[in-house]
Chains A and B, each alone.
Chain A
Amino acid sequence: MLRRMMLVGLAALVVFGMAAVAQEPVTIEFWHAMSSGHQPNLQKLVDDFTAEYPYITVTLVYQGGYGTLQGKIDAAVVAGNLPAIAQVYENWVTPIAPILYPIGNFMTDAEKADILDGLVASNTYNGVLTTVPFNKSIMVLYYNKSLVTTPPTTWAEFFEMSKALTVDLDGDGKVDRYGTAFRPAANPEQFLIFLEQAGGSILNADWTEVALNNDAGKTAVEFVGSLIPYSYITSEYMSDHIKDAAMFVDTSAGIGYNQKAATNAGFELGAATLPAGPANFNSMIQGTNLAVFNTDNLTQAQKDAAVLLARFLLRAENTVFWAEKSGYQPVTKSAYGTEAWLTYVGSHDFQVPMSEQMLNAFAQILHPNYGDMRNVLSTGFEEIMRGVVPPLEGLENMAAEIEALLE
């Protein structure tokens, strides 16, 4: 009896002792680039998290736009004062993958399996889920409902409608409204979508060779080339040029601005999944992930707390809350089946195609030089769309420059 009591007492001591150790106060910084409109919602999620884990304090640190956040992370890598957790684009952290703390190792199988399929590869380093998706958007087709009654579902329809909707309204010999629009310098992802839909990719499967200029690449570039006469080209937000095109491919996160611009211009804006190419109608996912850093300036308790926060934000109710408030898309499969999300979609019809597109999506490759490759694509795509070089020649130029980056 005495022995049993001693054992129970010992067990209780161990349990309470561990609990006491686990509840040592810990403070972590979360570096982000969410502007003030999003901050109350992010703060609400953090407040919910700290209510559940009262021993953790999360300091949200706004670091300006994405460019300055990236610069700050780069500087902090050198100075050794990284935060526990930060918003990151894939190409920011691929060169520093060894100092990332593999969040996936501390998640359940069910949590990992719940992440949308299109988001797994772009968060997986050497077979381990290392970062997790956070604020994700998808490129969809926006269209002027007063001009387009049924949005195009194939490349052929997209071409025909772009051609038909390019018009000189005042008869002065100049086009006043184009069928479609592109932002090649700011958004080379628009070209990558056509490449994916033609069945192509920048590199081959094991990243040893450039695949950009194979048959699929040529199909893609010839198609975008055929759209040049019917395309409005800009490097600014599409919401600033909403009247200049009848249809355009843009991020789902821009819906708020695009809708307001359309209201200003006196028409209703529609959203649809992308027209399908020869291989698929996949679209490119954009937006950032969450990375936990594994550096000496952070204690184990801070890393553990950061992992808990990342897992918390992935919960269906939280990714749905964030999506509803921010305009980004939920990042887990279970989120799309929640009552909250279905109710939201029911009252926001533009979300139907966006949700469908999220399930048919691809993300950027995790090559360490992807950032430079994106720069090549940006310049090359711009030159093609502005007619500086013929499409096929532009494609070869981009392939040659990316080849050099592989070497």
Chain B
Amino acid sequence: MGGPNREQSLTTTRTEAYYVARRRAYRVLLYVLMFVGCAIMLLPFFWMVTTSFKTELEAMRMPPQWIPRTWLWQNYPAALARAPFGRYFFNSFFVSILSTAGEVFTTILAAYAFAKMRFFGKNVLFALLLGTMMIPGEMLLIPNYVSLVRLNWFDHYEGLIIPWLASVFGIFLLRQFFRSLPDELWDSARIDGCRRFRYLWKVVVPLSKPAILTVALLKFLGSWNAYQWVLLMTNSQRMRTIPVGLTMFSSDIGTEYQLLMAASVVAILPILILFFFTQKQFIQGVARTGIK
């Protein structure tokens, strides 16, 4: 009585238990792997933060001394006193924000044109544009420098911002995203009497927020970390940015790691805060546009 049913129920329970256990095991394994990956990723960051509190001898110790014997908070004021970091911070923000805003604006226009509009030579022009990505940046450094010196933009914000207001990579990225938007949206907008420009800003841009934020974030990071170009295009302290300031602690014979790390911790804080607030959009954008 009820034998087969009971047996069946037992088998089902056993199978379920097996699957639950397997799922749990997978999850544990996943968390262990994620923890290990996380630890590996965070180790340099951890070293950076702890080194910023070490003595010079502790910072040079090999194998590394992970935790300082005494936490030297004075490394921070000492590092920041080595150069006008306040001015460098302002410049980094100013240049990064304007370059990012400018690039996002030009990129949206160009990407939309390449994605959704028809004009003569569109594909050839796009291929040519992509072709410029093959030219190593180092090759263009001196010609660009000469051009900007002749434009009298040397040691001016114009030289640090204007050459970076357009990005082929950004155009390519957004074009791919814009192409995935259905044309029917434009058809219905047109029926409602909407023009291209209005449609772009009222419909396309809001729909493409994650991709645009990705472009903006990548640009901001690139601009914040820019070193060679800033060094080349500026001479005065009042025009220089954070990464140039960070080189002050290294020479051909060695590096003052404890001070360099203290200044680096301060330098990456704004980036960390920015990423903290935008990580959702950033990850979405990366996932949707297929950028690895």
| A interface residues with partner B (beta carbon < 8 Å) | 29, 33-39, 59, 61-66, 68, 71-72, 74-75, 78-81, 237, 239-241, 243, 251, 253-254, 256-257, 260-261, 263-264, 327
Who on chain B is nearest to A261 by CB? B60
For the side of the interface on B, what is the size category?
20 to 34
A268 CB, nearest partner CB in chain B, Å: 14
Residues of A within 8 A of B250 (CB): 35, 65
| Neighbour of A79 across the interface among B150, B252, B256, CB < 8 A | B150
Q: Is the CB of A75 within 8 A of B248?
A: no
A190 to B60, CA, bound (A): 24
Q: A75-B142, A239-B254, A251-B253 are in contact. Are A264 and B235 (CB under 8 A)?
A: no
B148 CB, nearest partner CB in chain A, Å: 9
Q: Is the CB of B60 within 8 A of A61?
A: no
Pairs across A and B, CB under 8 Å, 13 listed: A35-B251, A36-B249, A65-B247, A65-B250, A71-B232, A75-B232, A79-B145, A79-B149, A81-B154, A239-B254, A240-B60, A264-B57, A327-B253
Residues of A within 8 A of B57 (CB): 260, 263-264
Residue B244 is within 8 A (CB to CB) of chain A in the complex:
yes
Q: Which 4 residue pairs are nearest across A and B when measured between Cβ atoms?
A: A36-B248, A257-B254, A36-B82, A35-B251
A378 CB, nearest partner CB in chain B, Å: 15
Residues of B within 8 A of A75 (CB): 141-142, 145-146, 232
Who on chain A is nearest to B58 by CB? A264
A35 to B61, CA, bound (A): 22
A18 to B149, CA, bound (A): 35
Residues of B within 8 A of A239 (CB): 60, 254
Residues of B within 8 A of A61 (CB): 235-236
Residues of B within 8 A of A240 (CB): 60, 62
Residue B228 is within 8 A (CB to CB) of chain A in the complex:
yes
Q: A256-B254, A261-B60, A264-B61 are in contact. Are A35 and B247 (CB under 8 A)?
A: yes
Residues of B within 8 A of A64 (CB): 227, 231, 244, 247
Residues of B within 8 A of A71 (CB): 141, 228, 232
Q: A65-B247, A71-B232, A79-B150 are in contact. Are A254 and B60 (CB under 8 A)?
A: no
Residues of A within 8 A of B244 (CB): 64
A29 to B235, CA, bound (A): 9
